[in-house]
Amino acid sequence: MSADDQAVPDEQAVPQEEERRHGAPLTRQLGQVVLHPSREGYRDLVEQLRRDGYTFCLDVTAADYLTHPGRSGLPSTVTPERFEVVAILLSFEGKERLRIRVQVPDGDPVVASLFQLHPGTEAMEREVYDMYGIVFDGHPDLTRILMPEDWEGHPLRKDYAVGRIPVQFKGAPGDR
């Protein structure tokens, strides 16, 4: 999906249609609130939301949209990139969750770490780093967590093959 296709309707449609919270576009997916901040505004947004009562960070994960670039659900002002870091916050008072989707380009997979705001993201960000190779700037100990430390590659990327262990039965047809 190219940004040019969307450039034209943006200029008129944005002011009326797009809902924003703390400057980040807000969409709803199956009734769930999703915010789409820029990479630079991600950490500040989480900090502002923490003041709003979203004091609990449930999860930080990611997705690799290499083979599915034209996904829906993104507001027209957001340029889709290969990686998406997804953070899920919880408000005890409001009894609601909120999801944040940050676009992270393939060439420079770096986002700010939430560790100083929510220390509980330590293991989750390490897992995302391990599985996707996304670097969290400001994380105190960004090492592999699930894979061995000398492992090559990041397994959950879409260009990382599933792989098979060759089956060594007699008369097994070819390499499986």
Partner 1 sequence: MTSIRYPGAATSEGAQELSARGQMTAGELLRESGSVLRMSEAAAAEQADRAPGDQETMIINMGPQHPSTHGVLRLMLELEGETVLRSKPIIGYLHTGMEKTGEDLTFLQGPTNVTRMDYASPLFNELVFSLATEALLQVEIPPRATWIRMLMTELNRIASHFLFLATNGLDLGAISMILYGWRERDLVLQFFEKTTGLRMNHNYIRPGGVAADLPDGWRDDVLRILDALPARLQEYDELMTGQPIWRARTQGVGVLTAEEAIALGATGPILRASGVPWDLRRDIPYLAYEEVDFNVVVGTYGDVFDRYAIRLNEIRESIGLVRQILDRIPRGDYRVQNKKVTPPPRARIDESMEALIHHFKIFTEGFKVPEGEVYVAVESPRGELGCYLVSDGSAKPYRMHIRGPSFVNLQTLPHMLRGGLIADAVAVISSVDPIMGEVDR
Site residues, partner 1 (CB under 8 A)? 29-30, 32, 55-59, 61, 63-64, 67-68, 71-73, 86, 88, 92, 95-97, 99, 115-116, 118-124, 127, 130-131, 140-153, 155-156, 162
Euclidean distance between CA atoms 146 and 156, whole angstroms:
12
Euclidean distance between CA atoms 78 and 148, whole angstroms:
36
- Least separation in angstroms between CB 15 and partner 1: 26
- Strand, helix or coil at 5? helix
- Least separation in angstroms between CB 44 and partner 1: 18
As given in the structure block, the two tokens for residue 25 are 């576009």
Residues 6+ apart with CB under 8 A from 166: 175, 176
For partner 1, the closer CB: 9 or 140: 140
- Least separation in angstroms between CB 52 and partner 1: 15
- Least separation in angstroms between CB 127 and partner 1: 8
For partner 1, the closer CB: 16 or 143: 143
For partner 1, the closer CB: 8 or 161: 161
Burial, 117: exposed, middle or buried (Cβ in 10 Å; 0-12, 13-18, 19+)? middle
